[in-house]
């Protein structure tokens, strides 16, 4: 299991480590568009990043907010 501090960081890891190893037949459509949009800063939502990541494994996103009043 790999841990990341954000969905964007996880997606960056996927784009540099998983995507290049895919066979050419899988590098089409939504995966190619998501990789391109992220790589060239064209804009990709966290929702779309999570959808792509979930095709390759389990994605669990947690937000922790701690507040201590004075």
Residues 15-38 have pLDDT tens digits of 999 999 999 999 999 999 999 999
> What was the pLDDT predicted at 4?
93
**What is the share, in percent, of the chain residues with pLDDT greater than 70?**
100
What is the Cα–Cα distance from 29 to 6, expressed in whole angstroms?
A: 25
Average pLDDT (6-23) is 96
> What was the pLDDT predicted at 65?
84
Domain that holds residue 46: 1-70
What is the Cα–Cα distance from 16 to 2, expressed in whole angstroms?
A: 14
- Which of helix, strand or coil describes residue 52? helix
Structural domain count of the chain = 1
């Amino acid at each position: 299991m790999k841990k990341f501090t954000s969905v964007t960081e996880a997606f960056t890891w996927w784009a540099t480590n998983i995507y290049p190893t895919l066979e050419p037949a899988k590098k089409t459509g939504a995966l190619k568009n998501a990789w391109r949009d992220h790589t060239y800063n064209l804009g990709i939502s966290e929702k779309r990043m999570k959808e792509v990541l979930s095709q390759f494994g389990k994605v669990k996103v947690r937000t922790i907010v701690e507040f201590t009043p004075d």
